């Protein structure tokens, strides 16, 4: 970067302007008056305008000098705070956490699972979503610190991983305002009268949901199936149909989509796991995640 002036010259001008004269500025800087004066004249030459003018026995700022002083104030105030800011940043060591997220895991649940560690000082969170097999392969190659999933990693004699339960959430049925009004009376039998959205068979919770519907002798009109839980919640919240989701995200669904809980889906739970390559995890943030799971 090319500059039209020297910051040292600007600093001398700033001190002269603050002290109100060359003599007092020279005393503060512990320099000869002639040296300070020469530095200020050099700045005026670089900027192409006069910054100071005689005023009685002292000096006064020209209009250009007033503008220069205002800018110098900001520059050197920032400069004075620089050492403290840099030292503070150096004291906080960055902690990188690379997380693999199984594509069947609801996004609102992911946010809740990670919430306890998000306040870790210096945390740099990197999230990758994908199919379980690909995530576990990256985990084995140490490209990831942990994988979050709604089911444990399947046994593989060639892949040494460990499953850490993070808890579970019961499921419920939700609906946007119009369908909630239609289905609130006579639930769960009312599900036969309204359109229903379901996760695809790719999701581990689909089979328990189907069994729940059979147990209640329900044959709803399924108008959509979604592999991505975020899409399921978005379309359900927009009014396409009644949809299942974890009871733990009830407040979030109401806030984001105005989707209200119709009723619980008894006996159906969504389970969550953290998967690592170590039985005793060493990564400090993953340790926090498991301790609060």
3-state secondary structure 2-67: CCCCCHHHHHHHHHHHHHCCHHHHHHHHCCCHHHHHHHHHHHHHHHCCCCEEEECCEEEECHHHHH
**Both tokens assigned to 83:** 């050492």
d(CA 171, CA 267) in angstroms, rounded, equals 8
The predicted structure's pLDDT at residue 156? 79
Asked if residues 131 and 178 have their Cβ atoms less than 8 Å apart, the reply is no
Asked if residues 98 and 143 have their Cβ atoms less than 8 Å apart, the reply is yes
At 191 the three-state DSSP class reads helix
pTM over 0.95: no
**Both tokens assigned to 43:** 């700045």
The predicted structure's pLDDT at residue 230? 85
Q: What is the CA angle 109-115-121, rounded to 5?
A: 155
Q: Which residue has the tokens 């000869």?
A: 32
At 262 the three-state DSSP class reads strand
d(CA 28, CA 97) in angstroms, rounded, equals 50
Q: What string of pLDDT tens digits covers the 293 residues of the chain?
A: 346 678 888 889 988 888 888 888 888 888 899 998 998 899 889 889 998 888 877 788 899 989 988 988 888 888 877 777 777 666 556 788 999 999 878 888 899 899 989 988 889 999 999 988 899 999 988 899 999 998 898 887 778 889 999 999 999 999 999 999 999 999 999 999 999 999 999 888 999 999 999 999 999 999 999 988 889 999 999 999 999 999 999 999 999 899 999 999 999 999 999 999 888 888 899 998 888 66
d(CA 84, CA 91) in angstroms, rounded, equals 11
**Both tokens assigned to 36:** 């300070």
């Amino acid at each position: 970067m090319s500059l039209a002036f020297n910051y040292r010259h600007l600093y001398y001008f700033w001190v002269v302007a603050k002290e109100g004269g060359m003599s007092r500025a020279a005393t503060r800087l512990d320099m000869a008056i002639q040296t300070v004066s020469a530095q200020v004249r050099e700045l005026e030459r670089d900027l192409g305008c006069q910054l100071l003018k005689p005023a009685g026995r002292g000096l006064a700022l020209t209009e250009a000098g007033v503008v220069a002083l205002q800018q110098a104030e900001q520059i050197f105030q920032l400069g004075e705070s620089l050492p403290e800011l840099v030292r503070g940043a150096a004291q906080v060591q960055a902690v990188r956490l690379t997380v693999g997220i199984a594509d069947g895991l609801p996004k609102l649940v992911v946010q809740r699972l990670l919430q306890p560690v998000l306040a870790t000082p210096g945390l740099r969170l990197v999230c990758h979503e994908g199919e379980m097999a690909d995530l576990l392969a990256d985990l084995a190659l140490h490209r990831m610190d942990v994988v979050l999933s709604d089911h444990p990693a399947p046994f593989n004699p060639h892949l040494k991983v460990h499953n850490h339960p993070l808890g579970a959430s019961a499921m419920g049925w939700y609906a946007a305002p119009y369908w909630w009004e239609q289905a609130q009376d006579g639930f769960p039998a009312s599900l036969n009268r309204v359109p229903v959205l379901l996760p695809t068979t790719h999701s581990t919770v689909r089979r328990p949901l189907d069994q729940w519907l059979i147990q209640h002798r329900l044959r709803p009109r399924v108008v959509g199936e979604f592999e991505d839980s975020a899409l399921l919640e978005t379309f359900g919240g927009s009014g396409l149909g009644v949809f299942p989701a974890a009871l733990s995200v009830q407040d979030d669904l109401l806030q984001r989509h105005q989707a209200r809980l119709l009723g619980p889906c008894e006996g159906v739970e969504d389970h969550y796991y953290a998967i690592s390559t170590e039985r005793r995890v060493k990564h400090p943030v993953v340790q926090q995640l498991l301790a609060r799971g």
